[in-house]
Amino acid sequence: MKIINISNRLPITLQRKEDELIIRTSSGGLVSAVESLGDKKNELHWVGVADFSRVDWLKGENQYKGDFTLHPIFIDEEKYKLYYNGFSNSVLWPLFHYFPSFVEYKKEYFDAYLEVNEDIAEQIKFLIGPADLVWIHDYQLIPLASYLRKLVPNAKIGFFLHIPFPSYELIRILPKNCRDILVKSLLGADLLGFHTFDYVQHFATTIQMIAGIQHKNFHLQYNGRLIKLGSFPISVDFNKFHQGFDNSEVMSERTKIKNLYEGKKIIFSVDRLDYTKGIIYRLKGYANFLENNSEWKEKVIFILVAVPSRDSIFKYAERKEIIEKLIGEINGKYGNYKWSPIVYQYGSLDFIQLMGLYTSCDAALISPIRDGMNLVAKEYVASRKDKHGVLLLSDMTGAAKELTEALLFNPLDENEISLHLAEALQMDEKEQERRIEIMQNQISKNDVFKWSDNFIQQMKSIKLNSGISKHFDYSDRLSVLEKYQSSKRCLIILDYDGTLMELKSHPDLATPGEEINILLTKLCQKNKNEVVLISGRKKEALESWFGKIPLTLIAEHGIFVRKEEWENIITESTPWKKDVQNIMERFSENCASSFVEEKSSSLSWHYRNADAESGFAQSRELINLLSDYLISTNVNILDGNKVVEVKPVQANKGEALKKMFDFSQYDCCICIGDDKTDEDMFEVVNHNKGITLKVGKGYSIAQYRLDGVSHVISFLNQLT
């Protein structure tokens, strides 16, 4: 089996020095995490865009001795700029980090972005075998899964987003065509991973608002496939940073730093120079601290290291200027010729230097305005084998969800930063130890190897063709008929609309004809049969159509049941109904040809006859509004096929069947339905070893699939 890792960058750099080519392997957490997945059974491959020429690669590739088979993708330089600096980093990056005013959308950026993703898919499609796992990383490659899905329909594909997935309100800022393509194309994957549950939740809401797809336990059904959403908080190589404390070079670096700043407390921060990292507010917070705590004059030093990043993009270059000016101002205002309160380095650190700083500082000040996770925070905690030091962490980072023993703060609040700095510098050692220990426990148990292993295990458990019920062919029909004939008691459960009757433009038009009445009557005449008709319809409709046939009737998705007399099996009150009806009526007024259907315990807003686009748009607004309005009520908002339905949670076809029937009394059970709500009864019937049949297309957990209503009728006729 191959694990094919795909990210924007390869895990190497290849540089030409005069006539010589030098390959260096990268040593970040992601690289080691993926490396750790390799063994005799798993071949490791890495696909990424080359930042070197094809000629250099051909000359230099055999110098690479790492664990991956590398597949550089060569892309025209101009197109790459539009894809990378353009759409990826001037649209997606700011938008997903809640900087909408920094977004510079251009159509040519988006076009290039799609083209590069399509190119990558074309170039690697031959690589993917039936047993292989494809793991795509990050926002530069959002559309890749769907391009690959078209080319290799059975590929097992996972996608992990390293940055936040923002609220739908941000996503809707993008032009409609662009946001629809982006979000739907993620559904080409089988597994979608995010750092935190917030991001998972945001994605789930977005996909419902954009594509009308509702999740069930964070599983989505799309194009006949099941897609799983999950939270996989990335982490660091805990042991590398923890054991690094005792590395002799790190020890000597630490001693040097401590000697250099003897008698002073050290505050440290390190990040890429990026506007999302909150460096300006961090500096202002520190200035506020100096202003209000003059006793710390000459007794504290802030070492701020920023690594150059995307500096050809204006917003980044601009930020650098502002930051450097501010540092000058703070040093000028608070410092003197013997002491600069800020020591600034614009450049990279190697591992020894980074560890030297992590392990010699008294506090790490990490203040992103938004950050998907933030690994610096976890590295810092892991490195403190001495259990000293204080972590000050922005509560806008993914890491803040796990590192709750940090001093958490709002990164935009200079005053809070200042107060926390004062607290950190005075914190006694016992308290430091207590906090660090709890956080180290958390990180060591959930290190980056566990992260990658979890993701891959989840991918391995993806069942191909799940949700694709088997076509009910001649031999299946025969074996079901045989089972039916040899049975002593048979429970036959039938949905109505879309199963026994074609869907009509208005519910009132779907009156059953003579043929159905005769068929149902015949089925009931066989003594061994118990025939159940289960529907979302009102009891009055079922009674008027089928009242004379000795069926068990279940109306309103299980609220009312008629064996002999009608009975209300769910007696929950519905105090929300009047208000929901008013809301729905308002939507009907605004959306021509839509209408409200009222049932005893539920309400539906139908937009089947409305203009498709505005009907859908209005339905999103309605769902949004109802979700807020009904937040602590015991109801389900069902995003159905051109209908939004509000019903009590207990009104569920599966639950009704469980309540009404003891399945062990039957040696045969046949259940047929077409709609999302029928999946609840399929679940119960499958569990009780019955036979389930889905009518029409779409995801289903039913065992078999029938093409349409006429096939249902012909099969039922065979039973009689």
**By the criterion CB under 6 A, which residues form the site for ligand ADQ?**
162-163, 234, 270-272, 305, 307, 348-349, 354, 371-376, 379
Q: Is 56 a catalytic residue?
A: no
Site of tokens 């426990």? 441
Amino acid identity of residue 618, one-letter, is Q
**Min dist. Cβ of residue 94 to ligand ADQ (A):** 12
Asked if 596 and 603 touch (Cβ cutoff 8 Å), the reply is yes
CA separation for the pair 305, 288 (Å, rounded): 20
| Tokens 């690959």 belong to residue | 148
Catalytic residue among 495, 497, 674, 678: 495
Q: CA 167: distance to chain centroid? A: 12
Nearest-approach distance from CB 88 to ligand ADQ, in angstroms? 13
For residue 10, the minimal CB distance to ligand ADQ (Å) is 16
Buried b (16+ CB within 10 A) or exposed e, 276-291: bbbbbbbbbbbbbbbe
Minimum CB separation of residue 374 from ligand ADQ in Å reads: 5
Residues 205 and 168 sit within 8 Å (Cβ to Cβ): yes
Q: What is the dihedral of CA 539, 540, 546, 547, to 10 degrees?
A: 100
Q: Which CB sits closer to ligand ADQ, 374 or 452?
A: 374
In the complex, the smallest distance separating the C-beta of residue 451 from ligand ADQ, rounded to whole angstroms, is 9
Question: Which pair of structure tokens corresponds to residue 16?
Answer: 């030409």
189 SS3 class: coil
Eight-class DSSP state of 461: T
Q: List the strands of the sheet with 529-534, edge to edge.
A: 470-471, 704-706, 691-695, 668-673, 490-495, 529-534, 552-555, 560-562, 566-568
Residue 367 or 499: which CB sits closer to ligand ADQ? 367
Decide if 302 contacts 267 (C-beta within 8 A): yes
In terms of DSSP bridges, do strands 635-639 and 300-307 run parallel, antiparallel, or are they unpaired?
Answer: unpaired
Which one, 270 or 561, has the nearer CB to ligand ADQ? 270
Question: Within 8-106, where are the H helices?
Answer: 29-35, 54-60, 77-81, 93-96
Beta carbon nearer to ligand ADQ, 411 or 673: 411
Three-state SS string over 310-326 comes to CCCCHHHHHHHHHHHHH
The smaller minimum CB distance to ligand ADQ, of residues 229 and 681, is found at 229
**What gap in Å lies between CA 668 and CA 487, rounded to an integer?**
6
Minimum Å distance from CB 610 to ligand ADQ?
42
Among residues 103 and 719, whose Cβ is nearest to ligand ADQ? 103
Q: How far is CA 343 from the centre of its chain?
A: 40
> Which amino acid belongs to residue 475?
S
| Least distance in angstroms from the C-beta of 180 to ligand ADQ | 25
Total residue length of the chain? 720
| Least distance from ligand ADQ to the Cβ atom of residue 588, Å | 45
Which residues have a Cβ under 8 Å from the Cβ of 207 and sit 6 or more positions away? 183, 184, 187, 213, 215, 220
Nearer Cβ to ligand ADQ, position 271 or 556? Answer: 271
Closer CB to ligand ADQ, residue 220 or residue 376?
Answer: 376
Q: In 528-667, which ranges are continuous DSSP H helix?
A: 539-546, 577-590, 612-629, 653-660
Which residue's CB is nearer to ligand ADQ, number 376 or number 603? 376
Output the smallest distance, CB 388 to ligand ADQ, in A: 20
Comparing CB distances to ligand ADQ, the nearer of 343 and 349 is: 349
Which CB, 304 or 637, lies closer to ligand ADQ? 304
| Strand bridging mode 219-222 / 225-231 | antiparallel
Strands ordered across the beta sheet of 595-598: 595-598, 603-606, 643-648, 635-639
Report the candidate in 158, 135, 133, 152 with the shortest Cα–Cα distance to residue 229: 158
Enumerate long-range contacts of 79-84, CB under 8 Å, 24 or more apart.
Answer: 79/112, 79/115, 79/116, 80/49, 80/116, 82/108, 82/109, 82/111, 82/112, 82/113, 83/109, 83/112, 83/113, 83/115, 83/116, 83/140, 84/8, 84/49, 84/140
Half-sphere exposure of 324 (CA within 13 A, CB side): 11
Nearer to ligand ADQ, 374 or 677 (CB): 374
Non-local CB neighbours of 90 within 8 Å, separated by 6+ positions: 102, 103, 104, 109, 313, 315
Render 647-701 in DSSP notation, one character per residue: EETT--HHHHHHHH--GGG-SEEEEEE-STTHHHHHHHHHHTT-EEEEESSS---
Least distance CB 541 / ligand ADQ (angstroms):
54
Closest CA to 132 of 453, 462, 454, 466: 462
Q: Which is nearer to ligand ADQ, 26 or 63 (CB)?
A: 26
Distances (CA, A) of 707 to 153, 346, 473, 502, 513: 22, 65, 11, 12, 21
Smallest distance from ligand ADQ to CB 509, Å: 54
Rg (CA), the chain: 31
Q: How far is the CB of 270 from ligand ADQ (least distance, A)?
A: 4
Active site residues: 495
